[in-house]
Amino acid sequence: MDAAALQPAAEALRRARHVALLTGAGISAESGVPTFRDAQTGLWARYRPEELATPEAFARDPKLVWQWYAWRRELVAKAQPNAGHHALVTLAAKLAQFTLIPQNVDHLHEEAGSKNILKLHGSLFANIREEDHEPVASEDMSDDVPPHCVRTGQRIRPGVVWFGESLPQDVLAAAMQAARRCDVFLSIGTSTVVEPAASLPFMALQSGATVIEINPDATPLSAHCQHVLRGKAAEVLPALVAAAFPES
């Protein structure tokens, strides 16, 4: 991590009243949850996630998609929040306004203690009916794979937003408002290519916010934001929060 780059970013954070944050798969990497862009290992290495996380894939092979989600749920259920998730809880306590916008479908921000989260892409642990997208309680699920709703007969699917699907409009509107109103926007562990989330840091830039990126690799945002902190979220975030609020 570049210590010289840390101080000006920490200074911007210290002066901020409203901080908005977009997080992606990279923030959970140190918790052992693989990102989509990382090479996949083991059982599922031969499938591209972009080809499993779509309504078309579920229509084509519902069992395969359900089993992939069951595997991811198991993996995530065993994972613990890392120092990056915890640093964001410390940071929230220091600010007048804090808007956390995760793209992740894991529960690690919640486990760390973050509150009022704008979950853009749903949750791995939610189940919804395929046709009307209503949530289903586990006692209403049949035992087949994928299960059906015993009340309506509808097939059940994971409660996540798949590639090509619309985001929950109220959640997206709140995220866009935060991006336009914040003084500092952090983009953490996201490839910044999956829309509409990828546009949020650019909206913040257009509205005059200071944008800080935390990512070991370059993204389409890197050349546009004021501060780029190259490194792992689980290392950079605690260092950034400690530099901004040494008393924390």
What burial class does residue 141 get, using C-beta atoms within 10 Å of its C-beta: 0-12 exposed, 13-18 middle, 19+ buried? middle
Applying CB under 6 A, which residues contact ligand NAD?
24-26, 28-30, 33, 35-37, 103-106, 121, 189-191, 194, 214-217, 219, 232-233
With contact defined as beta carbons under 8 Å apart, do 128 and 159 qualify? yes
CA 241 – CA 91 distance, rounded (Å): 6
Query: Least distance to ligand NAD from the beta carbon of 173, Å?
Result: 18
Instruction: Pick the catalytic residue from 121, 133, 224, 227.
Output: 121
Helix (H), strand (E) at residue 39: none
Smaller CB distance to ligand NAD: residue 149 or 172? 172
Query: Least distance to ligand NAD from the beta carbon of 144, Å?
Result: 26
Query: Least distance to ligand NAD from the beta carbon of 151, Å?
Result: 29
Smaller CB distance to ligand NAD: residue 149 or 225? 225
Smaller CB distance to ligand NAD: residue 13 or 200? 200
Residue 150's CB is within 10 A of a number of other CB atoms, namely 12
Is 121 noted as a catalytic residue in this protein? Answer: yes
Residue 206's CB is within 10 A of a number of other CB atoms, namely 11
Which residues belong to the active site?
A: 121
